[in-house]
Structure 1
Amino acid sequence: MTVEDDVEIRCVVQSADILGETPRWCERTKRLWWVDVRRPALQSYDPATGKHEARRLQADLMIGSIAPREAGGFVMGTNSGIYVYDPATSEPPRRIADPVGDVPGMRLNDGRCDPRGRFWVGSMHDHNRVPVGVLYRLDADHGCKAMHDGFVLPNSIAWSPDGGTMYFADTHNQTSFAFDYDLDSGSISNRRVFADWTHQFGRPDGATVDTEGYLWTCMVATGHLVRQAPDGSVDRIIQLPVTNPTCPVFGGKDLATLYITSHSQRLAPETLAVEPLAGALLALDVGVRGLPEPRFAG
């Protein structure tokens, strides 16, 4: 498979994020939203005007993921539970569930809503790479249930266009998984390895699905963007201008632009010197469109 290195890639926001993550396109605001986990900050970008905004929330609130919410604003996975927050109001973030509790060092990481508006989010230990992570499902009534466990670094939550397959990855173990997904009950079954990335293309971080049902995954440590067919075969590999891309999402007009967040944490000074886009928000046209981002129903 040839690695494409001639795709036009634009830097749309030089945000210099420490750990940029979970970009989400909001059709209501016509903006791309994402977080810097380490700063921490909730950010937005308006492609019509080029305006970038970053707002600090609670200093002790480490936001691992966001998803748009039907009632307005976002549902957020953090280091102290699941919150809802609407940037359009003056209300502070409000906690609605706390699956992790007071376990030291634990936080919520990647999260996304399924096509029926349930919020799925994975937990991890922020300092030790141990298999204590749990995959949770938050329902519209704010009931929160543990659905799977034994993960180290949960990422890549996404669904096939028909909702029948759920994707998930353990970044630390370099493995992407697929589950059978029951849209009516919100249950998962038949976990299988979708891709074993050991010794190839880096480690799987965030992912998104296009209208053709192909999965796009950012590969940390190698700077690759990989597109896979529903059977797991690799269809395209694009070389990005950053070592650590973190998560892709389709947005903009007709969901035709692929936006990618990245991180700059733990990069040596000499690496940062030759990688000026580390931590930036990137954009590229890959010739396919994405799916509308589901909203949390609660």
Structure 2
Amino acid sequence: MSLPSWTASLAVDSRCELGEGPQWHAAMGRLYWCDIINARLHWLEVASGATGHHELDHRVSLAAPLEDGGLLLVGEDRLSRLDPTTEHIERCCDFEADNAVTRSNDARVDRHGSLWLSTMGKAAEPSAGSLYRLHRGELVKLRSGLTIPNALCFSPGGEFAWFTDTPTGVVMRWALDYQGWPVGDPAPWADFSAHAGNPDGAVVDSEGHLWLALWGAGRVVRLDHEGRIVAEVHLPVTQPSCPAFAGADLERLYITTAREHLTAIELAGQPLAGGLFVAEVGVTGLAEPPLRLA
């Protein structure tokens, strides 16, 4: 039996070298996403179709909505506040600032309004990365020895977190306590090591199913509660990096993509690589709380 499938269309021809971190800002009606390598923060006003971007002075992988309406930038070695109206940036705190090898990678706000963020080697150096949780202003390291941590997302009730170390091909599930802290060790949940493409960014929908980008395969797959593929979105580019639901009712699935590492011949065959894509997949997203710093 064939799986339900959709084909994503181009939403914004942003030509990101490494598009990542799509994040819906409900109060502003904007979807934000990053071009990590080019230090640029893009935005799309979903209702009007207006677009724009902020030029930054360092690499950023996520702009998380704050309770006060601003954005917290997850940068390569720091966390900073951005006022999107004035473009004023205020540095909050550093992390791994003494480690020139690493930068931030995947990040997402959990059900408690705390931020999970990861680091990786700038050249994907093996085991150089770590996973952190920023809870009420305190940054705690949860795990180290990771290479390309990705797919950070959380079950609707906050009982589980998911993540992957992309080169392993395995998505892990981690039990969480009532405050959102990990309990015990993570367990393998979905194995893509024999599939085309590698697991990258992910997001959870209103039914508690996980949408996972498969870097290199030009697909985003929907996984049920047992980690089985039950639907898929096809893209006209090979390197989808992360999905996110956006819109007034979280009714659209947006997908960031990348041009990084593609040859001139490959780019000629997929000129829209690095763009932001969109698909209407018949299911809505799960609203995420704004980030709480205190």
Would the aligned equivalents of 1:66 and 1:111 in 2 still touch at CA under 8 Å? no
Would the aligned equivalents of 2:21 and 2:106 in 1 still touch at CA under 8 Å? yes
- Partners in 2 of 1:209 and 1:183 — Cα distance? 19
| TM-score computed with the length of structure 1 as normaliser | 0.94
Would the aligned equivalents of 2:4 and 2:230 in 1 still touch at CA under 8 Å? no
1:43 — aligned with what? Answer: 42
- Partners in 2 of 1:90 and 1:46 — Cα distance? 17
Superposed displacement of residue 200, structure 1: 0.1
Query: How many residues of Structure 1 are paired with residues of Structure 2 in the alignment?
Result: 293
2:187 to 184, 192, 196: 192
- Partners in 1 of 2:42 and 2:73 — Cα distance? 13
Structure 2 alignment gaps of length 5 or more: none
Of 177-186 and 205-214, deviating more is 177-186
- Partners in 1 of 2:179 and 2:260 — Cα distance? 40
1:65 to 53, 62, 67: 62
- Partners in 2 of 1:176 and 1:242 — Cα distance? 23
Matched residue type, 1:240: L
- Partners in 2 of 1:12 and 1:103 — Cα distance? 37
Pair 1:234-2:224 in alignment: no
- Partners in 2 of 1:95 and 1:273 — Cα distance? 40
Matched residue type, 1:255: L
- Calculate percent identity across the aligned residue pairs: 33
Would the aligned equivalents of 2:21 and 2:242 in 1 still touch at CA under 8 Å? yes
Pair 1:88-2:96 in alignment: no
Would the aligned equivalents of 1:211 and 1:291 in 2 still touch at CA under 8 Å? yes
Superposed displacement of residue 52, structure 1: 0.9
- Partners in 2 of 1:207 and 1:78 — Cα distance? 20
Deviations along 1:59-84, one digit per CA (max 9) or x if unpaired, are xx110222111122222221122222
Deviations along 1:81-102, one digit per CA (max 9) or x if unpaired, are 222222123422x232322121
Pair 1:15-2:10 in alignment: no
Structure 1 alignment gaps of length 5 or more: none
- Partners in 1 of 2:182 and 2:82 — Cα distance? 27
- Partners in 2 of 1:3 and 1:250 — Cα distance? 21
Would the aligned equivalents of 1:109 and 1:122 in 2 still touch at CA under 8 Å? yes
Matched residue type, 2:122: D
1:282 — aligned with what? Answer: 277
Q: Where does structure 1 differ by over 6 angstroms across 4 or more consecutive aligned residues?
A: none
Give the 3 Å change call, closer, same or farther, for CA 3–18 of structure 1 in structure 2: farther
Deviations along 1:215-272, one digit per CA (max 9) or x if unpaired, are 0000001111111111112212332211000100011131110000000111111111
2:110 to 110, 114, 130: 114
Report SS of the residue matched to 1:134: strand
- Partners in 2 of 1:99 and 1:272 — Cα distance? 35
2:168 to 157, 170, 173: 173
- Partners in 2 of 1:107 and 1:271 — Cα distance? 27
Of 184-193 and 264-273, deviating more is 184-193
- Partners in 2 of 1:182 and 1:16 — Cα distance? 40
Superposed displacement of residue 185, structure 1: 5.1
Give the 3 Å change call, closer, same or farther, for CA 219–112 of structure 1 in structure 2: same
2:120 — aligned with what? Answer: 124
- Coordinate RMSD, CA, aligned: 1.6
1:147 — aligned with what? Answer: 142
- Partners in 1 of 2:237 and 2:63 — Cα distance? 23
1:292 — aligned with what? Answer: 287
Report SS of the residue matched to 1:155: strand
Superposed displacement of residue 190, structure 1: 3.7
Query: Aligned ranges for residues 254-293 of structure 1 at < 5 Å?
Result: 254-293=249-288
Deviations along 1:169-217, one digit per CA (max 9) or x if unpaired, are 1112222110001242533434101112112031111100011110000
Would the aligned equivalents of 2:73 and 2:80 in 1 still touch at CA under 8 Å? yes
- Partners in 2 of 1:127 and 1:121 — Cα distance? 18
- Partners in 2 of 1:82 and 1:188 — Cα distance? 26
1:207 — aligned with what? Answer: 202
Of 74-83 and 274-283, deviating more is 74-83
Matched residue type, 1:66: A
Matched residue type, 1:98: D
Deviations along 1:27-58, one digit per CA (max 9) or x if unpaired, are 10111111100111111101222111011021
